[in-house]
């Protein structure tokens, strides 16, 4: 006896032709897997960017501090070499509103340059002579700024150090305005 098929569409059910539905499920699964991998990639990139920012926020201040310390050592050496010329350095430019005089390469001997990333400022201490350009007690104040990074970047760091230097071999007993040779201005 032969079997009769009620219609042509019913034959597919008996032949097991359900591949079209399975192919749709595998496409959805592949798209979900691709989306998951893309999200993981974006998260990894974001994490590495944050790690880079953490490192730059840690290293920037350290590098600026080291640059400032190096600049302070450089300034100390330059002042040591300029023993009798501190007044020349103080008179090289008019002081700013804060009383500090920025030391520029033009005020230094030929061939001497200020290190990169360093700004050096000089100031006469309060030696009661009422002059910002005359050092009468052999003490000068130095302010050094060390920089790390590009000034236009967000991660730019500026570190400032200040120190007082006394001229080697300078006699600190000097006559000041309103006093005698015993008045050193130091209590």
Q: Residue 168: is it exposed, middle or buried by C-beta count within 10 angstroms (0-12/13-18/19+)?
A: exposed
- Look at residue 13 and tell me whether its pLDDT is greater than 90: no
The pLDDT of residue 5: 55
What are 102-147's pLDDT values in tens digits?
888 777 777 788 888 899 998 888 777 777 778 878 888 899 999 8
Each domain of the chain, given as residue ranges in start order, spans: 61-166
Q: Residue 137: is it exposed, middle or buried by C-beta count within 10 angstroms (0-12/13-18/19+)?
A: buried
What are 142-158's pLDDT values in tens digits?
999 998 888 888 778 88
What is the pTM for the complete model shown? 0.61
């Amino acid at each position: 006896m032969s079997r009769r098929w009620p219609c042509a569409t019913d034959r597919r059910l008996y032949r097991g032709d359900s591949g079209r539905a399975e192919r749709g499920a595998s496409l959805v699964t592949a798209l979900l897997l691709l989306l998951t991998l893309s999200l993981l990639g974006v998260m990894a990139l974001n994490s590495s960017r944050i790690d880079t920012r953490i490192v730059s926020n840690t290293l920037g201040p350290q590098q600026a501090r080291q640059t400032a310390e190096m600049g302070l050592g450089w300034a100390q050496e330059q002042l040591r070499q300029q023993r009798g010329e501190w007044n020349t350095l103080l008179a090289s430019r008019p002081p700013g509103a804060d009383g500090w005089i920025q030391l520029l390469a033009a005020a230094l001997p030929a061939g001497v340059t200020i290190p990169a990333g360093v700004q050096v400022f000089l100031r006469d201490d309060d030696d009661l002579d009422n002059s910002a350009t005359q050092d009468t007690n052999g003490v000068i104040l130095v302010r050094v700024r060390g920089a790390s990074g590009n000034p236009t970047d967000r991660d730019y760091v500026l570190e400032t150090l200040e120190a007082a230097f006394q001229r080697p071999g300078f006699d600190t007993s000097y006559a000041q305005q309103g006093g005698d040779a015993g008045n050193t201005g130091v209590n």
